[in-house]
Structure 1
Amino acid sequence: MRRAGHRRAPAVRLTSGWPRLALLLGGVLVAWAVLGTATSTAVVVYALDVVFLGFFLRHTAFTVSALRHANPERIASAKADTLEVEGAVGYRPAVSVLVSCKNERFVAGRLVTGLLGLDYPAELLQIVIVDDGSDDGTGEILDARAAAEPRLLALHRPAGSGPAGKSAALNFALPRLTGEIVVVFDADHRPHRDSLALLVRHFEDQGVGAVQGRCRIRNAADAPLTRLITVDYLAGYLVNEFGRQAVFGLPAYGGANCAIRLSALRDLGGWNVHSVTEDTDVTLRLLLSGLHVRYEPAAVDDEEGVTTIRRYWKQRYRWARGHQQVCRDYLRHVLRAPHLSVLERVETVMFLLVYHVPVASLLALGLLGLSAVGAVPAASVPGGFVLWTLLFLGPLLEIGGGMLLARTRRSDVPALVWFLPMFLISAVLCAKAWIDGLSGSSYTWVRTDRAAAPTGRVGS
């Protein structure tokens, strides 16, 4: 494990642009011309085999770890489960709960009611909601509730004041926060009453910089897509996130239903306004500064899943675009970090490449198609079907493990029939995000539309 001690995180450097993409394509073409089609294709396929085998072993390790150590009874009932980290339940630091809102009048009242209902000592709790330039009456709703509740502070960030997006809205509140620990939720989330106590107990360890809770989809019955996303979240939080902690001690800070030490956040300079996935960016900066992230699966928060392919594309494109940018920004720092062990570096590199693997799968599919029509020699695509089997088996292992741990109803199993087409959609959007990112295409934070909210908004 890495040594204790706080280090200065690297400064964010904005990367990408057409010269980078042109250089990459030029290098590929030169290599192809020198080696020839058959040899070049075989080299690419063998490289893909190695990547897919590595991720298959990673998925397998996470699934086995979760099935061996997680407690299905506690998970199914969302009760506290000590799992890998046993915290002091009596530890009660001052907490600032922070939420950013933009045009959330449909959920603003319910949001405030839910936050005020959190089971935490009133004298230690501050609730801060940032109205990020709303024009639909969200600010008025928040002001009315704040006038009647001293624990609630409603802040108003004027429209057009600096960079757009969640990071800027959260940074706007930083000078007003009074808690030792900052807990962030999204506007549509419904945290369980005991979430705060379960999250903050880990901060008694001064080496912990952030803690991530577990998110669940609450509207699984709304559409076939939300049922699939529900299953995907089971794999993500009950297997993948749990596995990253149990196997490597490296879970990720997820951006909602998560806590971060205020002093560490200020040392990092706040959330990165240049990143559209500020959570992944914070994860890497905390890791490189020598602080730990912990995962608390008993701290449960229910959120709304997207119900249409269009909303799914917008949401996952942002995730892919931001995650790939974080990879470009921090990969070299991870490889050079002296306080990380070899295994920690390997796992962090694989974490950074998660949204590149679908791009690689699209390349593999293209090569298989070319070999089928004779455009490339079939002999130069050895083991192609093997690598694709590994590619799908890994995620399916995690999905199956998550469904077993959550004791999913049999009626949810047919949703898996959509796994393949959704994987192909994800591969295409990840490829687009990769090309757009390397070419320097401009992109800003895009709000995830709620089921009952207006569409097409840009904000937090």
Structure 2
Amino acid sequence: MLVLEIGVVVIYGICLLFMLGFSLSQWQLTRLAGRTGPVAAPPPPAVWPHVTVQLPVYNELNVVERVIDAAAALDYPPDRLHLQVLDDSTDESVARAAARVAYHQDRGLRIDHVRRATREGYKAGALAHGLTCTDGEFVAIFDADFVPAPDFLRQTLPHFTSPRVGMVQTRWGHLNENASLLTRLQAFGLNAHFLVEQVGRRVGGHFLNFNGTGGVWRRTCIEDAGGWHADTLTEDLDLSYRAQLRGWRFAYLPHVVAPAELPEQLDALKSQQYRWNKGAAETARKHLGRVWCDASLPLATKLHASFHLLNSSVFAVILLMAVLSVPLLFVRAHRPELKPVFRLAAAFLLTFVPLTYYYYTTWRLAGGPVTGRWFAPQFLLFLAVSMGLALHNTRAVALGFRGRASPFVRTPKLGAAPEGGRPVRRYRTRESGALPLMEGLMTLYFLVGLGAGCYYGDYGLLPFHLLLVVGYGLVTGYALQGLRPQPAPRPVTQPILAR
């Protein structure tokens, strides 16, 4: 029995060390981000290059026309611009997209509606196929929920002055940040990545990543790195590492914002989180060894790349720590001889210090003091919901490291609301009924942990258990809300477009 109890403590301690290392890496990126000012804008090129804008879509009835119109409104010489709607759809959105493409063709734009016989390779396959149908020197990519500003290309292309710059990424904006608590918390987390983490990586000379959309690639960089691969669910992260391992440099422009839509329902968010976390694990499995075998990379860059690629594994570590924290209370109560060792349990709070600094900087840069939103409640709710998603995301991470293939499931988008109402939800994702049940049971499990801590007078893990109860309780509540019958979408009767 003693061996088992010591094993619990040892595993918990290893998890704690990983979390502390991850938190310190985020703290250093925050420090690096604070050392830089605005990105200087290079002069525009004497002759604007040929650019292809790719819009990969799949069953995007709610937003497909909006993204096509936004791309068509880009302020760029029309003789040097080629738009591609890479449409793998199987529903009525195909007709909508075709009609919108025809409308802009009649206005003189070079725009193609590209269809494939199959969805082979999913998004990566669509992007690769699109490249065979165009001659653009640069390739801008926008997912269906993005609405790029007209000056997007004129702001990004001058940053390709150096021939070794292979990709320019911009910051995501949020069209529906204030739609709900869920969207506000997502915006809070994404802002940390785009306002602090990406900036710190750029300043430190560490690996950056293309975020799948809202960026521009040099075509020769894509080709030199081996093109788009479909063996991970994060084809963007995969290509980013392959390109940078071949010596290409990336630029990041936090002042250029590409607005996009955030998932408003829990099942849509979980679908997105599953893809991101499983894909990150697949990419880590594919490239982590290559990073450490590259003798040209500094140790600091290798460490940051490791935490970058293992970012999704944080959910697995948090879940393991959470599950072990309850028996840890019982072991401590009945093994007083191990009391000095058990003091490390409370050291979990130390990981909050650099993370608090990281997210406080994000909140300040995102205008938190101006909006009047208090930092502490937002930060604690974000942590709680992140912990509540740990069970779902850990499953994705485990499947990613096991190398089990799975389809690319796109995130449902709502688009703009009809006048006087809410957006019509036409697409849903399906989730196994067992997982929400397990998340509900986790809520009860951590309530037991709260009670045990109070019973034994051991309050070191009380904040952790409170966050877990709130997080799993919220996730379970959102899941139950999603089980309610949804009104059927109204039939599409309005004209496809007005000429």
Q: Deviations over 1:53-83 (max 9, x none)?
A: 222222212223334434xxxxxxxxxx426
Determine if contact 2:224/2:243 at 8 Å carries over to the other structure: no
1:172 CA displacement: 1.6
- Asked if the contact 1:99–1:130 (Cα under 8 Å) also holds between the matched residues in 2, the reply is yes
Show the counterpart of 2:362: 402
Does 1:450 pair with 2:413?
yes
Quote the offset at 1:162 in angstroms. 4.8
* Pairs within 5 Å for 1:349-364: 349-364=306-321
Which of 253, 261, 277 is matched with 1:320 structurally? 277
The code of the aligned residue for 1:130 comes to: L
SS in 1 for 2:282: helix
Go from structure 1 to structure 2 and tell me whether the alpha carbon gap of 1:398 and 1:89 turns closer, same or farther (over 3 Å shift).
farther
Greater relative CO (CA pairs within 8 A, separation 6+): 1
SS in 1 for 2:229: coil
Q: Distance in 2 between matches of 1:178 and 1:149?
A: 21
**1:158 maps to which residue?**
116
Show the counterpart of 2:433. Answer: none
Give the direction of change, closer, same or farther, for the CA distance of 1:262–1:440 in structure 2 (3 Å limit).
closer
Is the aligned partner of 1:228 residue 2:185? yes
Q: What's the offset of the Cα at 1:438?
A: 4.1
TM-score by length of 1: 0.82
**Structure 2: how far apart are the matches of 1:249 and 1:241?**
9
**What is the CA deviation profile of residues 142-185 of structure 1, one whole-angstrom value per residue up to 9, with x for unaligned ones?**
432343144332233235x2525211111121112222111111
Aligned partners of 1:196 and 1:299 also within 8 Å: no
Question: 2:289, 2:154 → 1: CA distance?
Answer: 37
Summarize the Cα distance change of 1:330–1:249 in structure 2 as closer, same or farther, 3 Å threshold: closer
1:282 aligns to 2:239 (yes or no): yes
Question: CA offsets per residue over residues 377-399 of structure 1, 9 Å max, x none?
Answer: 5645441221x224444443222
Match of 1:76 in 2: none
Q: Secondary structure at the match of 1:188?
A: coil
TM-aligned CA distance change 1:417 to 1:162, over 3 Å: closer
Q: Distance in 2 between matches of 1:206 and 1:164?
A: 30
Q: 1:89 aligns with which of 25, 33, 44?
A: 44
Question: Size of the alignment, in residue pairs?
Answer: 411
Residue aligning to 1:191:
148
Task: Output the CA distance in 2 between the equivalents of 1:138 and 1:323.
Answer: 33
Can you give the 5+ residue segments of structure 1 that lack an aligned partner in the other structure? 1-32, 71-80
Q: Distance in 1 between matches of 2:241 and 2:298?
A: 15
Post-superposition Cα deviations, 1:358-384, rounded to whole Å, max 9, x if no partner, equal 211221222221111228956454412
Which residues of 2 match residues 248-327 of structure 1 at below 5 A? 248-327=205-284
The 8 Å contact of residues 42 and 158 in structure 2, kept in 1 or not, is answered as yes
SS of corresponding position for 1:36: helix
CA gap 1:457/1:279 in 2 versus in 1, 3 angstroms: same
Matched residue type, 1:36: V
In 1, are the aligned partners of 2:8 and 2:328 still within 8 Å (CA)? no
Partner Cα separation in structure 1 for residue 254 and residue 388 of structure 2: 29
Q: Which amino acid in the other structure matches residue 57 of structure 1? A: L
Specify the structure having the higher radius of gyration (Cα). Answer: 2
In structure 2, distance between residues paired with 1:39 and 1:374: 9
Distance 2:57 2:179 in 1: 24
Of the candidates 55, 66, 86, which is equivalent to residue 130 of structure 1? 86
Q: Counterpart of 1:294 in 2: which secondary structure?
A: strand
Task: Please report how far the alpha carbon of residue 357 of structure 1 lies from its aligned counterpart in structure 2 after TM superposition.
Answer: 1.4
Which segment drifts farther, 308-317 or 390-399? 390-399
Residue 442 of structure 1, CA deviation = 4.0
Q: Is the 8 A contact 1:192 1:299 kept in 2?
A: no
SS at match of 1:69: coil
1:385 is aligned to 346
CA distance in 2, matches of 1:439, 1:312: 23
AA at the equivalent of 1:87: P
**Structure 2 counterpart of 1:111:** 67
* Distance in 2 separating the partners of 1:330 and 1:367: 31
Aligned to 1:437: 400
Structure 2 unmatched ranges of 5 or more: 415-423, 431-499
Cα-Cα RMSD: 2.5
Q: Go from structure 1 to structure 2 and tell me whether the alpha carbon gap of 1:266 and 1:43 turns closer, same or farther (over 3 Å shift).
A: same
SS at match of 1:273: coil
Q: Distance in 2 between matches of 1:361 and 1:433?
A: 14
Deviation per residue, 1:14-53 (Å, 9 max, x gap): xxxxxxxxxxxxxxxxxxx9x9335544443343333222
Give the aligned partner of residue 56 of structure 1.
23
2:489 corresponds in structure 1 to none
Structure 1 residue 304, shift from structure 2 partner: 0.4
Q: What is the rounded CA distance, in whole Å, between the counterparts of 1:143 and 1:193 in structure 2?
A: 18
**SS of 2:252 mapped into structure 1:** strand
Distance between the aligned counterparts of 1:457 and 1:261, measured in 2?
34
Quick check: 2:167–2:251 contact (8 Å CA) kept in 1? yes
Looking at structure 2, the residues matched to 453 and 175 of structure 1 have their Cα atoms a distance apart, in angstroms, of 35
* Change over 3 Å in CA distance of 1:135–1:164 after alignment to 2: farther
Shift of 1:434: 2.4
Aligned-partner SS, 2:397: helix
SS at match of 2:233: coil
Cα pair distance change 1:439/1:346, threshold 3 Å: closer
Which residue does 2:3 correspond to in 1? 36
1:241–1:295 Cα contact (<8 Å) kept: yes
SS of the aligned residue for 1:373 comes to: helix
Distance in structure 2 (CA, Å) of the matches to 1:127 and 1:392: 46
Residue 432 of structure 1 and its aligned partner are, at CA, apart by 0.9
- Residue pair 1:128, 1:154 contacting (<8 A) in 2 also: yes
Native 8 Å contact 2:282 2:403 kept in 1 = no
Structure 2 residue matching 1:215: 3-state secondary structure: strand
How far off its partner does 1:225 sit?
Answer: 0.6
Distance 1:390 1:358 in 2: 18
3-state SS of paired residue (1:221):
helix
C-alpha distance 167-399 of structure 1, shift in aligned 2 (>3 A): same
